[in-house]
Amino acid sequence: MNTIFSRSEDLSELQAALGHDFARPGLLERALTHSSHAHEESKAAGQDSAAPEKLDNEQFEFLGDAVLGLVASQLLFERFSGFHEGQLSKLKAHLVSAGHLVNVGARLNLGHYLRLGRGEERSGGRTKSTLLSDAVEAVIAALYLDAGLEKARSFIIAHIIEPELERIQKESDGDLSLTDYKSALQELLQSSGRAQPVYATVKEEGPDHRKTFTVEVRVYAQRQNRPEFVAQAEGATKKKAEQIAAKQALDHLRSQPRDV
């Protein structure tokens, strides 16, 4: 494979972090090459800027995004068989989102290895969220092309999926689906033309370092001022209590024939 690099930089530390020694290092180099750098290199070499050969990481981003989506979908499908399609979709959307991938890129210190043009370098491209998240997708593609799906899958699970699932589980007291109940309730009410739920903190108990919050949720029927359903729930934070109360409201609404 051709590469735009006149010298091979030492990427051994990055390869160690990725858990893979590349048989074709040029794949990793290209995954780290921003279009601004590729354009400058081509121009300096006197190449036609309209030449068909692509030497930046944009095509790698496309492939990496697809591989990431496949791996995330398969893992969530296998691990959370009790989730409905909406829950799986929202959890997957978070795991593959640019907002999450930029954190992965920062942990891997990908910004240090990016090949940038002078303009991008001056404008702080090494810390730009878009460039970091794109680089993560491109690196996934490089792993896939160099060693196959299983190597890319191992990297994705170890660096992108598992740490984030553990974080979410910790924040939701071990119930990943807690992250979905409030939005699911909102969508269900909206689809049936009802007003949005109303949450209120009923009480707070305990010392500051171990507070317990009791939250109430009220669900109103169409064109009625009195709530159709009221639920209360406790949690270590207001957010957790709201999610548990929202689940109770969802269970009630879904048990009603008109809302199924």
* Count of C-beta atoms within a 10 Å radius of residue 211: 13
Least Cα distance to 48 among 36, 56, 39, 57 occurs for: 39
Evaluated on CA atoms 126, 128, 134, 136, the torsion sign reads: positive
Transcribe 25-83 into DSSP letters: HHHHHHHTB-HHHHHHHHHHTT--TT-S---SSHHHHHHHHHHHHHHHHHHHHHH-TTS
Please state, in angstroms and rounded to a whole number, the distance separating the CA atoms of residues 152 and 141. 8
For the record, the structure tokens of 257 come out as: 């024939």
- Residue numbers annotated as active site: 65, 137
Beta bridge partners of 99: none
Please state, in angstroms and rounded to a whole number, the distance separating the CA atoms of residues 32 and 34. 6
For the record, the structure tokens of 198 come out as: 């109303």
Characterize the bridge pairing of strands 198-205 and 212-220. antiparallel
